[in-house]
Amino acid sequence: MNNAFYLNDRLEEWHPGMTIKDLIDKKNFIFKMLVVKIDNKLIKKTDYDKTLIPDKSSVQILHLMSGG
């Protein structure tokens, strides 16, 4: 596996310099609140634009819905 990473267990093409924010925009995650993890480490919302996605990593992005 070269230049690729997993997003929610699906293989995605990896590019150098790609941030979490880039991925969220590209994949059109429309909800304003998300749970984002890279290799099971939680990424804070304030860090999305400065967190680089490592090559061969596993990224998990889940929607967080209002309602309780």
Binding stretches for other proteins (CB under 8 A): 31-35, 37, 40, 42, 44-45, 60, 62-68
- Measured from the CB atom, the residue of 3 and 31 that comes closer to other proteins is 31
Closest distance to other proteins from the beta carbon of 25 (Å)? 18
Nearest to 6 by CA among 52, 61, 51: 61
Which residue, 9 or 13, has its beta carbon nearer to other proteins? 9
10 or 17, CB closer to other proteins?
Answer: 10
3-class state of residue 40 by DSSP: coil
Residue 49 zone, left/alpha/beta (φ > 0; ψ -120 to 50; rest): alpha
